[in-house]
Amino acid sequence: MDDTLTVAVRVKPGASRARVGGRFDGPHGPALVIAVNAPAVDGRATEAARRALADALGVRAAAVSLRTGAASRDKLFLVERPPSELPGVLRRLRDGSAE
């Protein structure tokens, strides 16, 4: 098993409620939508998205890091040492499939 997993994310800052789920076909391919309360100021939305992604995937926040997209809504995050079931969890969150 690979020791990292790359996750494409579309961040929606300033949302009325935080939510992880849904699909956005962005520049990095199918992306998981993460809505966060934090504004897109000084990296606050990116940090909120990083923590929300870790929570949704059931991994430590320290295991999730930003790879690209610091100033963009479209980001790539790296998840270190992902559990083997993580790709399925990610697919369900992104695509809503009930496998």
This prediction's pTM: 0.92
- Note the pLDDT tens digit of each residue in 31-70: 999 999 999 999 999 999 999 999 999 999 999 999 999 9
Q: In the structure, what pLDDT confidence band is assigned to residue 97 with cuts at 50, 70 and 90?
A: low
Expressed as residue numbers, the domain containing 15 is 4-83
CATH code (residue 9): 3.30.1200.10
* Residue type present at position 82: P
- Is the residue at 88 inside a domain? no
Q: What is the mean pLDDT of residues 23-29?
A: 95
- Is the residue at 99 inside a domain? no
Domain count, the chain: 1
Per cent of the chain over pLDDT 90 is 86
Total Cβ atoms within 10 A of residue 14: 12
In the chain, which ranges are E strands?
4-12, 19-26, 29-35, 64-68, 74-80
